[in-house]
């Protein structure tokens, strides 16, 4: 994705807010907003934002898992499965 095609000054956003929001929802590409020639903010549609947050959460879980493996915090799979099966039966 090329962000260079998705860069607009804040004045454009102010003058075309409804159109910008419609384009964000349709194209699902972020829009970089500049102020005085500098990038200041990134706008994106809600669905893309939620997807990004879910992806970050999954990556965080993976990173925590990797840290636990590196620290030797491991349990045999058969023990984990046994515990899970007992919880399902109890429920």
**What does the pLDDT read at residue 64?**
96
Reported as type and span, the H/E element at residue 34 is strand 31-35
The model carries a pTM of 0.69
**CB of 1 within 8 A of CB of 29?**
yes
Give the model confidence (pLDDT) of 13-71 as tens digits.
999 999 999 999 999 999 999 999 999 999 999 999 999 999 999 999 999 999 999 99
Does the pLDDT at position 7 exceed 70?
yes
């Amino acid at each position: 994705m090329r962000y260079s095609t998705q860069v607009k000054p804040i004045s454009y956003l102010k003058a075309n807010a409804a159109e910008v929001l419609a384009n964000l929802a349709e194209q699902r590409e972020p829009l970089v907003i500049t102020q005085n020639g500098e990038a200041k903010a990134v706008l994106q549609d809600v669905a893309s934002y939620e997807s990004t947050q879910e992806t970050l959460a999954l990556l965080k879980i993976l990173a925590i898992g990797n840290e636990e493996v590196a620290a030797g915090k491991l349990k045999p799979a058969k023990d984990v499965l046994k515990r899970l099966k007992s919880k399902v039966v109890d429920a």
